[in-house]
Structure 1
């Protein structure tokens, strides 16, 4: 029997309200040479009953004996996949009918690209969830957040052979997966929405938001550590304060953080771990983000006016001018 072109991996847990929409959006694809691998992760509602109503022989249905988590279920699908490409899908989203055709077209015309995502749009509001287009842009954005919409991804199966989702990063496993993939292969994001994204209270991203943020900070620090800076001089405890921007930090700690950013830029130029231009943009963005939070917001209530005045000595003159201009604009808006 000839292997399918695409293996679609669809883990599901208690999604009786949405699972039919998700399945139908795959079965209605304009490119129909695929297998749909559905892994039920111990659902206790009517999800399984709805899946069993389908008779399409392209559907391969598997059940975990108990709830094991989305990373475990996706890995089951990866191991069972036979297609040239693997497409990821979430059980409460909808893939637009041209999604597979457009992604396969990217691969056919760009043999160096191994991973292809796209934008997504939210149900009801139509808000676009955009991601950068090119490989260097996508990899640089990983320093801030996951720059691949996981449920829009298709990738070459052989290019990421033996790469699986790590259950140790549950609720942030997709971010960690794409960081590991970024060291091996080239990315691309199609600059249009190919997936409709459902936003609701039952989503794991909403339930485990705080855990995801903590995992994200640890993953970003791990990326920076590839540059091999002195962790004794720049300890995680202080750097995390700024990346999370939750706990009070001293003027000395702020100086240390800004020095760390300059140090990273120089170390990367020496070691060439990351493309210099894109990495420099990452550093500039981090610096600007922290300065904005310190001087133009009240996110950290313990930072006083006197504290801010003393902190000005750590800024470049151009940054001070930009702060003054921004404050003036805010005042004009309030009038």
Structure 2
């Protein structure tokens, strides 16, 4: 099993997150960390754990979260791949729950719910799906209008890499792209109501920020075009 984590100036929360992950992994599992040229003590803290399961790759320049996650996924060796933000906390049954669903032959991607918490892990809402008004549909239109797919709440089989990589340069976010590739290619995914992480929302949060309507529409049109072109094709 592989966990992909993209870090950037995450010294405040990254150890708490890593400790919650490492407790659930076996000695054969790996945590692939791609650091996006952090300027704080993030890397020193991670190296201080001295855990052989952690493999660190440092970008020479800032390339952003999409390409950092692409790099991490490419380097994964596990049969099951988990995506992780640097500032959340995993519930103790996250890995076992997701793997149980992924062991079903026809399920290639699992998306779960989460507790929404503040910087001090105080619960703001008991459900990210409710808080964010997520609605999972069977078609790409619903996803393009309101993306319910969140990378921090995803786990998928390694076979999915052939459909999602490389991430196109102009996509809005990688998690929406992954969800859309499943929908457009008829790849079965499973949404579960289990709240398997504490999803931290704070001033330094990189993902989940609101965009202007005009900018969002332009990005969604671009995404639609890319998805239509990719239908039925494995990425090269």
TM-score (norm 2): 0.81
Is this contact kept in 1: 2:170–2:223, CA < 8 A? no
* 4+ runs deviating over 6 angstroms: 224-227
Do structure 1's residue 160 and structure 2's residue 155 form an aligned pair?
no
Q: Which has the higher helix share?
A: 1
CA distance 1:221–1:69, shift in 2 (3 Å): closer
Partner of 1:129: 128
Do structure 1's residue 12 and structure 2's residue 12 form an aligned pair?
no
Partner of 1:34: 29
Do structure 1's residue 194 and structure 2's residue 180 form an aligned pair?
no
Please tell me the root mean square deviation across aligned C-alpha atoms, in Å: 2.9
Query: Take 2:160 and 2:12, find their aligned partners in 1: how far apart are those partners?
Result: 35
Q: CA deviation at 1:57?
A: 1.2
Deviations 1:4-40 (A, max 9, x none): xx11000000010011011111111176652100111
Moved more, 153-162 or 75-84: 153-162
Q: How many residues align?
A: 218
Partner of 2:68: 73
SS at match of 2:108: strand
Q: CA deviation at 1:205?
A: 3.6
Highest RCO, 1 vs 2 (Cα 8 Å, sep ≥ 6)? 2
User: Can you give the 5+ residue segments of structure 2 that lack an aligned partner in the other structure?
Assistant: 229-236
Deviations 1:63-90 (A, max 9, x none): 0111111111111111110010110000
User: Can you give the 5+ residue segments of structure 1 that lack an aligned partner in the other structure?
Assistant: 1-5, 228-335
Q: Which has the higher strand share?
A: 2
Partner of 1:303: none
SS at match of 1:204: coil
Q: CA deviation at 1:217?
A: 6.0
Deviations 1:126-154 (A, max 9, x none): 41112557x73x85641432222210100
Q: CA deviation at 1:223?
A: 4.8
Query: Take 1:163 and 1:77, find their aligned partners in 2: how far apart are those partners?
Result: 13
Query: Take 2:47 and 2:85, find their aligned partners in 1: how far apart are those partners?
Result: 18
Is this contact kept in 1: 2:113–2:153, CA < 8 A? yes
TM-score (norm 1): 0.58
